[in-house]
Amino acid sequence: MRIIIIGAVAAGTSAAAKARRNSEESEIIIYEKDNFISYSGCGMPYYIGGEIKSADLLTPRDPAFFKSKYNVDIYTLHEVLSIHPEEKKITIKNLLTDEVFNDHYDQLVLATGARAVIPPIKGNDYKHVFTLRNINDMNRIKDYINSYHPQSAVIVGTGFIGLEMCENLNNLGISTTLIERLPQVTPGLDPDMAVYVEEHLRNKEISVMTDISVKEISESHVILSDDTKLTADMILLSTGVRPNIELAKAAGIELGETGAIKVNSKMETNRKNIYACGDCMEQFHVVTGKPVYRPLGSTANKTGRIAGDCITGGNLEFQGVLGTGIFNIFDLTVAQTGLSEREAHELGYDVVVCHNIKPNKPEYMGGKEMVIKGIADKVTGRLLGVQIIGYKGVDKRIDVFVTAITFKAKVEDLFHLDLAYAPPFSTTKDPVMYTGMILDNAIHKGRPLLTAQGLDELIESGEKYTLIDARVVTQYEKNHIKSAKSIPHSKLRNEIPEIGQEEVVVTYCNKGVTGNAAQNILMGKGLKRVYNLSGGQKQYSKTHSKTKK
């Protein structure tokens, strides 16, 4: 069997390695139009910033390695021009010699990846304007910094790559401004979590401009949509990626709803003997089963392995993605998985949301707070998504939540997880367990939550309500929500105000625990519509603190 793979980065080389493990007799050939293969793209910002000292660490494998270890022939600087499914052949151009020739296959794997989206901005072709998608992009940026010593940079887009580059340019002493056309940074997060990231950036003296776009680039400036001019010695366009589907489309291979190549669970396209994997293919979401496009290196490796298995008679099948992501911005860790609150609403879920603010381990062991936002289905109790922002232990918790969502856990299941505990690692009831307890109370125990946005809507509605600050008086006097009454938890049983049983009552404290205790007291006294403010005063003040700079 002759297997041809188009593309030699994560997905293509994973497909080749797995195919060889399954079949020693097959011929395996990879054509790659770039000169680098099997590289660690996620490490590129850290090489540019100097944390990774050598580019060779990101490109440890070359064609000779794959020939020696796997007996796979990789031809770099060879661009596949067309696919001819009826004849089971492809046309290739040697980019060094300009020779054009044909090759034939028994099984064909498309691992053509994705490319950076370049917005239609006047001046986007200046030499100081960059994207960061591959090793050549990385080297161009590094060479430019070393040669021209830029003092200022503008990054357009605040996704993972944009923020990682922001940190690394800042570490090089380059003054950096972030531009985001949306009203918030980190578009994948909900706004009530993105505010933590933006505040952190501002505290690190990063200039952040949201709700604005770039309309023109000059040799020394960018001009924004409101005609503001910003000095910029270099510009990074970090505005997403688009799947490379032109070869597939020309060959009659079906595209999915997202515009990427449509495949089944075995990575098969609609064309017989042609498979697709990696960033060029459409995935489906574990929670909803609906098509999504979430290009990540981890998914590329996984789907490449599945393709390599299936073309050699294996039975691996793709089981979907949750869109899990994690990154550091300075010393802050940001992670997310599953559906955001916004996505869940758009899909028609009746959701319950909590903001759980807890340390990753006891404070006497140096624990630091993390904010966990949990999103659950009110009807079924199933956990739908989680977002976490914190300094330590975020990676551990997000992976637990990923596992729980993947196996369709309900919120009440989280409390019963037998998680590892010792003071250097966790609190006795881990933040994961607390998240489950809070959501379980809201869904099944009649202890409803109200988000900061929900409280704003209540205040603006004109409906009669009572807002009770259950903290001690000194905390109330320091800061409190307008219209709140100060009734400390310790006095609440004896000082319950005159409230009608059907009147809306909202309790709150600093983070939510004492607010819940106050809620329990009031409900025990017969009040029917008592809510606890999710995340308490801390979360509410955070969502109301954003100022434009």
Contact 177, 207 (CB under 8 A): yes
Q: What does residue 251 show for φ and ψ, rounded to 5 degrees?
A: -90, 5
Q: How far apart are CA 290 and CA 338, in angstroms?
A: 12
**From 42, 277, 280, 509, active-site residue:** 42
Amino acid at 505: V
d(CA 442, CA 532): 9
Q: Minimal CA–CA distance to 371: which of 519, 543, 547?
A: 543
* Number of residues in the chain: 549
Cα-to-chain-centroid distance, residue 54: 27
User: How far is residue 140 from each of residues 131, 157, 355, measured CA to CA in Å?
Assistant: 10, 20, 42
d(CA 369, CA 361): 9
Is the distance from CB of 243 to CB of 114 less than 8 angstroms?
A: yes
- Asked if 544 contacts 452 with a C-beta cutoff of 8 angstroms, the reply is yes
Identify the helix (H) or strand (E) that includes residue 352.
Answer: strand 351-359
> Is 509 labeled as catalytic in the residue annotation?
no
Q: How far apart are CA 35 and CA 101, in angstroms?
A: 19
The terminus-to-terminus CA distance of the chain in angstroms comes to 62
Q: How far apart are CA 426 and CA 419, in angstroms?
A: 9
Q: How far is CA 291 from CA 193, 256, 294, 322, in A?
A: 25, 8, 10, 11
Rounded Cα distance, 304 and 5, in Å: 10
Residue 63 phi, psi dihedral angles, 5° rounding? -55, -35
Enumerate the active-site residues.
42
